[in-house]
Amino acid sequence: MLKLNSHPSGRHFLQIPGPSTVPDRILRAMDYPTIDHRGPEFQALGKKVLADIKKVFQTQSPVVIYPSSGTGAWEAALVNTLSPGDHVLMYETGHFATLWKKLAERLSLKPEFIQGDWRHGADAAQIEARLAEDTGHSIKAVCVVHNETSTGVTSNIAAVRRAIDNARHPALLLVDTISSLGSIDYRHDEWGVDVTISGSQKGLMLPPGLSFNAVSEKALAASKQAKLPRAFWAWDEIIAANQNGFWPYTPATNLLYGLSEACDMLFEEGLSNVFARHQRHALATREAVQAWGLEVLCQNPAEYSGVLTAVVMPKDANGQHHSADALRKVILNHFNMSLGQGLGKLSGWVFRIGHLGDFNDLTLCGTLSGVEMGLDLAKVPHQRGGVLAALSSLAHSAKVPLAQAA
């Protein structure tokens, strides 16, 4: 087997479902000199990014920006709204929903997990039924992952909001959009979400290092009564400083340069066009997977993710799955391309193809070609023709026919 050259030619294909590839345009923006974070030049930057990010969340409410990973934003959402011992209802959609539950436990909250199979999104009917049982309103928050990065399944947040309303329950709605913001249509205000959590390293096309809480009026009111300890994560001081374009501590200035550029790129393309592009690439990817004779992990077509596709490895004669990690290693060694590994319960028998962020038709074609060649080299049973199926899908879904474009 060939070994990966220590200096391979061409760019590395980073096709994990986040961090996504950072465009050169954003890298150049981040290369600007660091400036005085108390001065007027920074103030103008601060006001711009705070206004821009609201448009991405589709909200008029404050959006708090932290210099942290998405895990920090998980914690911020919980500590600003809840008190020790509070009961929270969470839904097991996959690995990241499970990690969020563990974080809640460490904060002395009492999460109740509605069990899922990691192949479907959050079931709004189950949430409604559980809330209807809670006549004493002991449940203080409902926590749902919008797009589960480990499974390629997207949950219907509008349906969850309706479930809470139908049960006439006062619980807050907290939603993780770490892998969906800027890639899949998401509407904080319209869907009645109280805290939306996100991160910089996926649809926003930035390096890891920024995280976000979009905060409703109801959540702000809850924060005044919440008793969990908080200092760095506290919304009040940050929102107060943000009104003048500043932060109460040293912000991640160069990442904010990048965020400003990322928002410009999203708005230039148009958010609706960005969402349509992701869905189009996801469709072509699924067409390829099906042509290979492999199985998409997500079992409900209404919940297919536009951000990634999780693929189930076929079984051998003994009923054991072929190794997804061995396949990923072959693809990395031969084609300098990284695919997402199976996480948690999916470890070893699922791999994930990321198709998000700064991504176009040719990038997708290269990605799928690498997968198809890798399947052959790794001797994974499959049918050829996945790339051709994707090409056909892309040609039929193109906005402008090639003849007209010429």
pLDDT digits (tens, 9 = 90+) for 240-268: 999 999 999 999 999 999 999 999 999 99
Q: What is the CATH number of the domain that holds 300?
A: 3.90.1150.10
The total number of residues shown for the chain amounts to 406
Residue 406 lies in a domain: no
C-beta separation of 23 from 313 below 8 A = no
Within this chain, do residues 208 and 114 fall inside the same structural domain, yes or no? yes
- pLDDT tens, position by position, 140-160: 999 999 999 999 999 999 999
User: Of 20, 92, 24, which is closest to residue 340 (Cα–Cα)?
Assistant: 20
Structure tokens at 295: 């199985």
CATH of the domain at 170: 3.40.640.10
**Domain identity same for 218 and 258:** yes
**Same structural domain for residues 281 and 343?**
yes
Q: Do 204 and 83 meet the contact criterion of CB atoms below 8 Å apart?
A: no
Is there a domain that residue 5 lies in?
A: no
Q: Is residue 8 part of a domain?
A: no
The answer to whether residue 356 is domain-embedded is: yes
- Looking at 212, 244, 267, the residue that finishes a domain is 267
Look up residue 357 and give its two tokens: 């962020």
DSSP track, 83-128: -TT-EEEEE--SHHHHHHHHHHHHTT-EEEEEP--SSS---HHHHH
Is residue 44 classed as helix, strand or coil in its secondary structure?
helix
Counted domains in the chain: 2
Based on the fold, state whether residues 35 and 79 are members of the same structural domain: yes
Does 205 share its domain with 320? no
Interval 166-219: pLDDT, tens: 999 999 999 999 999 999 999 999 999 999 999 999 999 999 999 999 999 999
Is the same domain home to 337 and 383?
Answer: yes
In a domain, 7, yes or no: no
- Cβ-based neighbours of 131, under 8 Å, separated by 6 or more: 89, 139, 142, 163, 164, 167, 169, 171
Confidence of residue 3 (pLDDT cuts 50, 70, 90): low
Output the known binding site for substrate.
352
Q: Are residues 216 and 166 in the same domain?
A: yes
Q: Which of 200, 232, 267 is at the close of a domain?
A: 267
Read off the tokens for 101: 């539950």
Position 183 in a domain = yes
Q: Are residues 168 and 92 in the same domain?
A: yes
Do both 64 and 122 map to the same domain?
yes
Q: Give the annotated binding-site residues.
A: 352
Q: Strands 308-312, 295-296: parallel, antiparallel or unpaired by DSSP?
A: antiparallel
Any idea which residue has 């990923």 for tokens?
328
Q: What is the tens place of the pLDDT at every residue in 101-127?
A: 999 999 999 999 999 999 999 999 999
Structural domain that includes position 82: 24-267
HSE-up (13 A, CA, CB side) for residue 87: 10
Domain boundary among 224, 243, 267: 267
Helices (H) and strands (E) in the chain, counts: 14, 14
Whether the link from the prior residue into 84 is cis, omega within 30° of 0, is: no
For residue 187, what pLDDT is reported?
Answer: 98
Q: Are 305 and 297 in contact (CB under 8 A)?
A: no
Per the CB < 8 A criterion, the answer to whether 122 and 93 are in contact is yes
- State the amino acid at position 85 in one-letter form: G
Q: Is residue 218 part of a domain?
A: yes
Do 76 and 161 lie in a common domain? yes
Based on the domain organization, do 205 and 301 belong to the same domain?
A: no
Count the neighbouring beta carbons within 10 Å of the beta carbon of residue 37: 18
Kindly list the distances between the CA atom of residue 264 and the CA atoms of 28, 233, 306, 330, in Å, as whole numbers in the listed order. Answer: 14, 27, 21, 38
Would you tell me how many other CB atoms lie within 10 Å of the CB of residue 247? 21
- Tell me if 404 is assigned to some domain: no
347 C-beta neighbours (distance < 10 Å), count = 13
User: Any idea which residue has 């509605």 for tokens?
Assistant: 114
Whether 234 and 300 map to the same domain: the answer is no
Give residue-wise pLDDT tens across range 329-385.
Answer: 999 999 999 999 999 999 999 999 999 999 999 999 999 999 999 999 999 999 999
Name every residue whose Cβ is closer than 8 Å to that of residue 18 and which is 6 or more positions away in sequence.
149, 178, 179, 199, 201, 202, 307, 354, 356, 357
Predicted confidence (pLDDT) per residue in 287-332, tens digit = 999 999 999 999 999 999 999 999 999 999 999 999 999 999 999 9
With 90 as the cut, is the pLDDT of residue 402 above it?
no
367-405 as b/e: b if 16+ CB within 10 A: bbbbbbbbbebbebebeeebbebbbebbeeeeeeeeeee
> Whole-number mean pLDDT of the chain?
96
